[in-house]
Amino acid sequence: MTAPVRFAILGFGLHAVRRLVPAFAASKKTQLVGLWRRDQQAARKNCAECNIAHCFSSAEELCSSPDVDAVFITSPDAMHYDDTLLALRHGKAVLCEKPVAMNAAEAREMAEAAKQAGLVYGVAQNFRYNRSLEWLRERIQSGSIGTPQFAHAEFDYPADRAPRKWIKDPSLACGGPIGDVGVHCIDALRFILGRDVESISTLAAKSSADDQVEATASLQMQMTGNVFANVTVSARTPYRTLLQITGSDGILIAENGLTVDRPIEMVLRRAGEVIETETVTNADGYTRMLDAFADAMRGGQPFAATGEDGVRNMLALDAAFRSWKTGHREPVA
Segment 76-107, tens digit of pLDDT: 999 999 999 999 999 999 999 999 999 999 99
Residue 164 is predicted with a pLDDT of 75
Percent with pLDDT over 90 in the chain: 95
* Confidence band for 159, pLDDT divided at 50, 70 and 90: confident
CB atoms within 10 A of CB 52: 21
Residue 76 is predicted with a pLDDT of 95
Q: Go through 149-160 and write b for each residue having 16 or more CB atoms within 10 A of its CB, e for each that does not.
A: eebbbbbbbebe
End-to-end CA distance of the chain: 45
Q: Which helix (H) or strand (E) holds 233?
A: strand 227-234
Report the largest interatomic distance among the alpha carbons of the chain, rounded to a whole angstrom. Answer: 61
Residue 206 is predicted with a pLDDT of 96
Give the single-character DSSP code of 187. H
Q: Which domains does the chain have, with CATH numbers?
A: 5-126+287-304 (3.40.50.720), 127-283+314-331 (3.30.360.10)
pTM: 0.96
216 - beta bridge partners? 205, 234
Q: 32 in helix, strand or coil? A: strand
d(CA 148, CA 268): 13
Instruction: Decide: 66 and 34 in contact? Cβ < 8 Å.
Output: no
